[in-house]
Structure 1
Amino acid sequence: MSNQNTPIESDKLIKALQGALNSSNKKIVQLTSVLDMARKVNEADKFKTAGLALTGELADKLHAERVSLGWLKHDYIQIKSISHTDRFEKKMQIIQDLEAAMEEAYEQDAAILVPSTENRTLSVRAHEHYRKSYNADCLLSVPIRNGDETIGVITCERAKQPFSDIDATEIHLVTTLTSARLKELYQKSSWFGVRLARKTRKALGKLLGFDHTWAKFFGILAIGFILFATLVPLQYKVNSPAILKTDKIIYLTAPFDGYIDSVSVKPGDIVYKGQMLLRLDQKELKLEEANLLAEEQNNRREIQKAQADRQLADMRIHQARLSQTLAKLQTVRYKLSKSEILATVDSAIIIEGDLQKKLGAPVRQGSELIQMALIENIYVEVDVNEVEIENIRLGSDGLLAVKSHPEQTFTFRSDRINPTATVKDQENTFPVRGEFNQKIPGWFRPGMTGIAKIYAGKKTLWWILTHQAIDFLRLKLWW
């Protein structure tokens, strides 16, 4: 019996040795592949290049459709690289869902395989949501560790063939070998403010101690800010857009139907009484005047002829025609006298009516041509939002800065608050009229805009920063 069992045991031994040899060869090949990927990542000189190299090599090695690198920032995972993709929109829903899946692996500090061949107790809700929403058949998320610290997550996507624990182990080996280099490159790629914050933290560590440096520093700042914000009253000003206005507006209209012949002014010009502003075309009126003059002479001759022939009836007819002709002539001459539109007041500014581009254009009788404003009795009108109108009181002082001269400010006093709101920029505003406390400069013009600040008493910084939000919540949450 012992002689018969010997060949069988030898065959088993040979097969076992061959299996061990094959397993050793696979491990050597796997280790070589891992070292090669780690070398390519560590040779990169920028974080973006290293991330693309890592995701691209893993995608090729694991035959994955997509491999994504997520990095830990303020306890949230942000995707930094996607295999074979230079740019991607971070606000896309697919990116946000993928980040949620990565955070699921980060929070549990464990590799997650979906679908899993084993009965695990890990939560995979975010992975299942991503899988069903974007038809990702198989997912594998592996945390990236640098010592005892988790700094990111690698997530792989593959169709049909599920991932295995061996794949997770291989990713873990690659990221362990490259995590230090990735962290170094990421810190170097941060903008100046972040690097300055790190240096500041080290400097504060020497002053405040090594433990919980930032917590101590920001705690002191927070306490100081809270005391200042709740105890120290500050002068509160209501900021609102403003415009210069005057009550004396003059509208010039077309005296008759005609055509614009010439224009002598444009918006912004200052005009004086008797100055010609524009002229309507006179050609047709002068031709009509000449025709009527000829008709007048003809009627007078006919009257004289009828008188000589003692034709009383004909004489009366021609006298009536003469009267009609003279009436028409008077009308034409009146239009000619009104064809030149003159300024009727002194020191007025043209605020509307850019007609130089409309030469030859027809105008209808009564249509508005030019709008003028007298440069006197100028006041400021402030459009205060309905949220802030309760803080404005009649007689409150204010400051105005005009856009054309923002370096100068002018004081005014609130004189009147319009009780009716107007809608501007889809918001209800109340016009507040302000009279200037000082002599206004000569360059003030109606229609100029700026920013007005009306004093609304002393309030704490906490009230200034939060009163609008609190009022909004009160309005929405009352019952």
Structure 2
Amino acid sequence: MTDAPLPKHASGGMAHARQASMQSVLQAANFAEAVSAFASEVAALAGCRRVALGWMLGDEMRVMGLSHGAEAVLRGALPDVAEAMFEAVQQRASVCVPSDSKGLPLITQAHQVLLRKDGLAGVLTVPLAQHGEVVGALMCERTDEPFRADDVLALEQLVSTVTPLLILKRELERPWHERLWRRLDRLRARWHDPREVALRWGVRLAALAALGLLVVPLPHRVAAHAHLDGAEQRVMTAPQDGYLRAVHVRPGDVVKAGQVLAELSDDELQHTRRARQAELAQHENAFAEAFARGDRAQAAVEQAKAAESRAQLELADEQLAHTKLVAPYDGVVIQGDLTQMLGAPVKRADTLLVLAPGLQYRVMLEAAEADVASLSVGQGGSLLLSALPNQPLRFTVARITPVTKLTDGALHYEIEAQLLPEPALQQALQQLRPGLQGVGKISLPAEPLAWRWARQAWGWLRYAAWAWI
């Protein structure tokens, strides 16, 4: 084979060589094939008799592949080649023998032995490195002419381009535990590096902070979806059969005690009242005539009929009074839009409106099933409503109900809480409305994170063991 110099940059040969080398490495099925393909590309590019690629395995250099598809027993084989590679790796510099460079002198003993033993014209070893860490070496052998300075520079550029791909191929074939130990070794090396002062102090501070989080008691809160309800609700029903004549309020309206909310039609009741008045007058007149005649029996009969008519008239008056629905207290209408039912018939006891006291509220929280065991009556917390994001309200747990709700595919328990009479509540009272939603957080006793996590893990393990066994 005739040796040939490396292609010049001006001709674009190096760009093509880098592209071809990267393509051959990427197309390789595994690391061994990638090493052999890259060595063959370099041999063809640089006109070398043989190109070998070695890799650092701990403190040992091992030949991993040869050019031109040459087969070799790589474990323990080619000791002279491995020694020459290790010589360049130890010096972290490219070693060329013979060399026309006038730089710093390098140790070339192993390369000289290889040059004389195999009758070579030139030997060049380029270390493979990334981020300051040397992972291997590429050694090229020529039989016709030595390597020039521009050959060394071109090969160094080519190696620096392909080395990250080879490292990636190698790392992908490593088991996970080897990759983990490798990262730990790198971290340990950085830890002992005198220049890594920031790393050591950062790790110490992080460890101290983690220890503090695990040992120092920290506050803990249970978050739960919350909504606001009235302290009580009054259902306004139809007092009698009739027709809806007028509606004066809608849901959300604030009402005062004694305010008329809705009216039923009273035409039929007015007619009944007039009829009862006429009957009463008739029986009273008949009673007066019988009394004047001295007919006591007839007078008693007429007097009884007059009393009956008077009672029926009072009933009609009472029914007329009940045709108007009146607010029993100051509050807010929370249900019942009757504006679309004007003129519709209603039956006695039909629900028309629902009222809630205007300044009395309760908080209903939906706590997750896993958090209920840690909650108890009397615990405090804070509520933030979506309508009032700048006014957190404090509350205390008043009751843990056994009622469950299926929300988002999970069971939640309803927790009833009472708002504390604080200045923040007094400022927000005029803006509060039943039905407002938000997020409540119930405060639990402070405890270290380590204890909290250990308790949760132990509970999960006990439950899982019970379910599996």
TM-score where L is the length of structure 1: 0.49
Larger Rg: 2
TM-score where L is the length of structure 2: 0.50
